[in-house]
Structure 1
Amino acid sequence: MQVFRLSRKKYAAKLSGKGAALSGNRWNSKGVEMIYCADSRALAMAEVVVHLPFYLLPQDFEMLEISIPDILKIKTVSQKELPEMWNRFPHHPKTQLIGDHFIRTNEYAVLKVPSAVVKGDFNFLLNPYHKYFKKIKIKAHSPFIFDSRFFE
């Protein structure tokens, strides 16, 4: 399976989860390391641009193509398991508990969750502590230029 991640260039060479741990996000509490990925390049971009106005977006992004071996089992969170308004901001504490539990139990290397930004698409959360995490590889990365029409 191939997933995507839009990352600042200085962080693109390594998958660590440290960035997510700094402030906490929808699927992790502050201090809990995990790597957020998307099922498409477009979703990876959308997941970044919802956080900043276009004129504040840094221009040093890279699109990472990440390979997840088919032998790794993926845990899936269904829409039915989520509380009402799970996709609103600020983040619902239950979604953070789900992600924290995924990391803490360390049973899976990958957690598939619905995207809060694009209904019908999915994010893939990677557990940097799982014993098979090293099998997940950055296959390629290349500079990502936002279309100039975003800034008009």
Structure 2
Amino acid sequence: MIVYRLSRARFAKDLSGKGAELAGGRWNSKGTPMLYTSDSIALCTVEVAVHMPLGIVPFDYQLIQIQIPDDIGITELSEAKLPTDWKSFPHSNATQVIGDEFIVEHEKLVLKVPSAAVQGTCNYLVNPRHPDFPKVTIVGIEPFEFDKRLFVK
């Protein structure tokens, strides 16, 4: 399976989940590493856009294509299994607890979750501490330019 990630150029080859570990996110609390990826380039774009202030166009980004082996087990969470506030803004602590538990349990390498930003799409959260993580590989990196219309005030 190929998943996608957008990252500043200097972090394009870093799959450690360190950025999420330092900042925390919807699906992990500070101190818990997690690699956020998406099922499409379009979803990656929206996921970056929703975190940028209006009027600021992200620059120096790279599109990273990541291969996750097809024989790797995936835990899938449907919206029905999530707390009612799972896509609230700011995000709920309840989703961080779910992600943190996923990382600690080491049961599966990937957690598939619905996107809070785009209905009907999914993000794939990868556990960089899982024993199968070395099987995750970058298969492509290319410059990415955002459409400025996404960031107009």
TM value normalised by structure 1: 0.95
Q: What is residue 63 of structure 2 aligned with on the other side? A: 63
Identify if the C-alpha distance between structure 1 residues 53 and 118 changes in structure 2 by more than 3 Å, giving closer, same or farther.
same
- Unaligned ranges ≥5, structure 2: none
| Structure 1 residues 108-123: aligned runs within 5 Å | 108-123=108-123
Cα RMSD of the aligned pairs, angstroms, is: 1.2
- Unaligned ranges ≥5, structure 1: none
Shift of 1:80: 1.2
Q: Which string of whole-angstrom CA distances, capped at 9 and with x for unpartnered residues, describes residues 27-57 of structure 1?
A: 0011100000000000001001101135323
Secondary structure of the 1:90 match is coil
Secondary structure of the 2:134 match is helix
Aligned length: 152
Q: Which string of whole-angstrom CA distances, capped at 9 and with x for unpartnered residues, describes residues 94-116 of structure 1?
A: 11111001100011111000000
Q: Distance in 2 between matches of 1:151 and 1:107?
A: 39
Q: What is residue 15 of structure 2 aligned with on the other side? A: 15
Does residue 47 of structure 2 align to residue 47 of structure 1? yes
Secondary structure of the 1:47 match is helix
Identify if the C-alpha distance between structure 1 residues 151 and 28 changes in structure 2 by more than 3 Å, giving closer, same or farther.
closer
Shift of 1:150: 3.4
Does residue 104 of structure 2 align to residue 104 of structure 1? yes
Secondary structure of the 1:65 match is strand
- Percent identity of paired positions between Structure 1 and Structure 2: 51
TM value normalised by structure 2: 0.95
Q: Distance in 1 between matches of 2:150 and 2:43?
A: 16
Identify if the C-alpha distance between structure 1 residues 66 and 118 changes in structure 2 by more than 3 Å, giving closer, same or farther.
same
